[in-house]
A = this chain, B = another copy of it.
Amino acid sequence: MSDAFAPEFPVTEAPSMEWDAWGVAESRRHLSAQVQGLLQQALGVSAEQSPPPTESDTAVRDCTLSAGRLAALADLVGPDHIHTDTSTRLRHAGGKSTPDLLRRRETQLQDAPDAVLLPGSHDEVMAVLRFCAGDAVAVVPFGGGTSVVGGVDPARGRFDSVIALDLRRLNALTDLDPISGVATLQAGVTGPQAEQLLGEHGFSLGHFPQSFQFATIGGFAATRSSGQASAGYGRFDDMIEWLKVATPSGTLELGRAPASAAGPDLRELFIGSEGTLGIITEVGLRVHPVPERTAYQAWSFPDFETGAAALRTVIQSGSAPTVMRLSDEAETGINLALSGDIGGDSPTAGCLAITTFEGTDAHVEARYAEATALLAAAGGNALGEAPAQAWEHGRFDAPYLRDALLSAGAIAETLETATRWSNLANLRSAVTTALTESLAAQGTPPLVMCHISHTYPTGASLYFTVVCAQTADPLSQWATAKRAAGDAIMAAGGTITHHHAVGRDHRPWMETEVGALGARVLRAAKDAIDPSGILNPGKLIP
């Protein structure tokens, strides 16, 4: 790291998440008695479960690495940066999907990586990959551990051992080009660290996915993350100018210019590769000056279709707000119930939409005027700033609520897709029906909510939240519903994932997504780069 970019104060250390729940203990949510009563009444949710095992009485699979191999690995990263204790291994035992969290609550043996390594540089990552390729050890790259698709499961593939490569020590801003608005950040920089490092220079990245507080730059790139401000600042893949990737076959540096016609865009092969083709160690990103101002406006639409058409008009006009999202009737109603606002000023029917506008004063004013005129003309009823500010205030809280729901005996999970505008209603209906029928058939009729959080001129994402009572075997219960939803998504022409990535959980649909020949091309690329197959086996590539 060049001295020029050493932060004035040390970068705030990234917090580790709880081993068996989202986030950190001090932010844990509890359900009010009123909400618990509602869950019982509406969905038959009951909290009469045996309490889950604590960390100290959890059995973890033994480390399979010999002392000699551990010593060799320790030589590569330094003895302080390799861990084989149960606590560290458990905290790298997987991501944070609902099935992940349900598995943590089981009493059976927990799988975990055999060791956790924290390399301090690209060269150390390269050294570890060379060792593992030669010594038949699988490697799972680990950023914030926020995967909800099994992307950081300690899968061994055909190998006896697997290590987690935790990139948290790669946490520097290594270059900032203020003229071009390009910042180079190491892969282990978390969302808040990125904003801190850039903020000291007057810049912002503006990437705010729900995992923002824990997830990392490398993870955002490796999974094609999309933040809540994607209408304004683009998806994470749009922001990437340059990538540095460590692979068993050498180092790649891709992206010589803002745009190029020099053949296929190889960045796009490594963006979204989820650690199966290489480990992203550094990313050059488009950044922007810290906004002078943010304007907020919330809207009510009579129904989802009217709201979706209104959002479409705005994004197709080229006048996008920074944030633009729309909840359906069910989500609008439930959010209201959970926030305790029933009976307040907020609407109790219809669909809530949120818009925010960031930038210079002049830019915010122009965009606000353009978008507001279009939304009003399309049937929107302006609700003022407060609901939009309330949304922003609570926007990273939902995963904490899920833990509380799981503890209360509910299944709570999300899934997402995207399609063209003309297919949006059809896809939403197909997925809602599949989830509802599958769970009702298991005796647990669900509540299915949906929102649009990412819009494009040609289409939009759909994000579903499902809540129902747990059966005696909630893992199998959800697996059945998830399979039905995935099949419905593919049959109705959606993509199997708009921003959660593939990991283990969406892999069964990948061949449908890219076709048999597309899958062959992915395998050919992997064979060329990772001939021994150590990189994140069992993920993504069908």
Contact = CB atoms under 8 A, between A and B. Distances in A.
Contact of A521 (B253, B418, B529): B529
15 contacts: A180-B421, A224-B261, A252-B518, A257-B418, A259-B418, A259-B495, A261-B495, A261-B497, A262-B514, A263-B502, A263-B522, A268-B268, A317-B360, A318-B359, A318-B363
A6 interface: no
Contacts of A493: 256
Contact of A420 (B258, B262, B369, B540): B258
B270 A264 contact: yes
Interface in A504-542: 506, 510, 513-518, 520-525, 527-529, 540-541
Interface stretch (A11-19, A328-336, A457-465): A457-465
Nearest to A374: B362
Interface string A250-293: 11111011111111111111111110010000000010100000
A500 B271 CA distance: 25
A528 B523 CA distance: 9
Given A251-B517, A359-B318, A514-B263, A457 B366 contact: no
A190 B272 CA distance: 33
B261 A225 contact: yes
A228 to B, nearest CB: 14
A497 B317 CA distance: 31
A259 B422 contact: no
Interface string A353-372: 00000011011001001100
Given A182-B458, A359-B318, A517-B252, A265 B271 contact: yes
Nearest to A241: B458
Contacts of A496: 260, 262
Contacts of A521: 266, 269, 525, 528-529
Given A510-B263, A525-B521, A180 B422 contact: yes
Given A177-B420, A182-B458, A520-B249, A259 B272 contact: no
A499 interface: yes
Most buried by B among A225, A419, A422, A458: A458
A517 B247 contact: yes
B223 A261 contact: yes
A471 interface: no
B528 A524 contact: yes
Q: Which 8 A-B pairs have the closest CB atoms?
A: A524-B528, A268-B268, A258-B459, A257-B495, A224-B261, A180-B420, A258-B456, A179-B422
Contacts of A277: 264
A261 B417 CA distance: 9
A201 B520 CA distance: 39
A146 interface: no
A501 interface: yes
A319 interface: yes
Given A264-B272, A317-B363, 14 more contacts: A177-B422, A180-B458, A249-B520, A256-B419, A256-B494, A256-B495, A257-B420, A263-B502, A263-B510, A264-B270, A363-B370, A366-B366, A517-B529, A521-B528
A316 interface: yes
A259 B498 contact: yes
A47 B374 CA distance: 61
Contacts of A272: 261-265
A540 B316 contact: no
A264 B256 contact: no
Contacts of A262: 272, 495-497, 501-502, 506, 510, 513-514
A50 B481 CA distance: 79
A309 to B, nearest CB: 9
A520 B421 CA distance: 39
B258 A460 contact: yes
A235 interface: yes
A171 interface: no
A457 B269 contact: no
